[in-house]
Amino acid sequence: FMVDKGNHRHFMEKEIYEQPEIISHALSHYIDFASHTVKANDTAIDFGGVSGLAISACGTAYLSGLVGKYWFERYARLPVEIDVASEFRYRELPLSPSQAALFISQSGETADTLASLRYCKDQGLKIGAVVNVRESTIARESDAIFPILAGPEIGVASTKAFTCQLAVLAALSIGAGRARGTVTAGDEKAMVKHLAEMPRIMSRVLNDIQPQIEALSRDLSRFKDVLYLGRGTSFPLALEGALKLKEISYIHAEGYAAGELKHGPIALIDENMPVIVIAPHDRFFEKTVSNMQEVAARGGRIIFITDEKGAAASKLPTMATITLPNVDEIIAPMIFSLPIQLLAYHTAVFMGTDVDQPRNLAKSVTVE
Ligand code: G6P
């Protein structure tokens, strides 16, 4: 069927702005808004009984899986093995049937992800698919299907599929924690309440930060290299921010774990390479600020993406500070995805690239 851009310039912009509504719909599949509990979904995988999880995916889907790893380990105390599918499938990773495997794919057709799935199936693991296309090959070959319900995504650079994948993984990790006794009924209620509030916060953020990001994108488009830093779940977001920016604006961007700054990228810091730091005021905040100090001391320009508490707590000079509302850590990755999507989008628009169809990239890669 036909999908149109409505009154947006690009599908990517439309898909960014659709997120509040679509996530709310996706969440209703996984959480009960009345009782504030995670619904018992596809029960083909017993998260309560498994000894560990293997996760594999490509591109942006891999990065949502990387956020998922932090959640499953922290909330459900489940060890997670994760790798990009093109490595995973050839690693000869020893696995046991007591583990389960999750494959994350918007299209459900990515060749390397499918090959990783078949590898795990051969090892006797139960297979779960976190997919947008429920009729896809990956979904068909799985024991359990966890749909992300994002609707058709046309822009090659994934946006709403990423945040919907995160929402589903958040719900699954809370449910797994519940089943494993590591998340109490009270914790579950509190976390689910935060998830339920998320769509409204997303709408507000999209509306509030747009003018500032558009202006900042004009400045950013002058640079050839950008470094993105983050810690904890903000580390995969730094990778995703860099991926998004390079995919559509063709500015060279790298994402790094903030703590690795001094092990390499610090050698590149000067006024010609802006450093975008993603740092909500969480338990890693002080550590990340000390990495920012290292950047500032070397004349680096900082774009600081933080929340109100974080903005108040840091006195470092920045090229720009994007201040989001204070939110609970369970929803921070979804909320902090919005500025990195908009920054990539507006920078690309400003540079005049083909935003929805960036050169050399395909929406779905069905060859190895
Ligand atoms: C391509 C797309 C990316 C996507 C990746 C994985 O590289 O351009 O946006 O993240 O494939 O695709 P999948 O359909 O498996 O999520």
ipTM, 2 dp: 0.97
Give the residues across from 303 on adjacent strands.
276, 320
CB distance 106 to ligand 1 below 6 Å: yes
- Render pLDDT for 202-244 as a digit per residue (tens, 0 to 9): 999 999 999 999 999 999 999 999 999 999 999 999 999 999 9
> What does the alpha-carbon distance between residue 90 and residue 120 come to, in Å, rounded to a whole number?
11
Q: Which is the closest atom of ligand 1 to the Cα of 58?
A: 6
**DSSP string for residues in 300-357:** --EEEEEEHHHHHH-----SEEEEEPP--TTTHHHHHHHHHHHHHHHHHHHHT--SSS
CB distance 364 to ligand 1 below 6 Å: yes
Q: Average pLDDT for residues 308-315, to the nearest whole number?
A: 96
How far, in Å, is the centroid of ligand 1 from the Cα of 232? 23
How far, in Å, is the centroid of ligand 1 from the Cα of 311? 34
* Predicted local distance difference test score (pLDDT) of residue 1: 55
CB distance 116 to ligand 1 below 6 Å: no
CB distance 165 to ligand 1 below 6 Å: no
Catalytic positions, please? 363
CA-nearest residue for atom 4, ligand 1, is 59
The model's pTM: 0.97
Percent of the chain with pLDDT over 90: 92
CB distance 60 to ligand 1 below 6 Å: yes
Residue 26 makes CB contacts below 8 A (sequence gap 6+) with 147, 148, 149, 150, 164, 167, 168
CA-nearest residue for atom 8, ligand 1, is 363
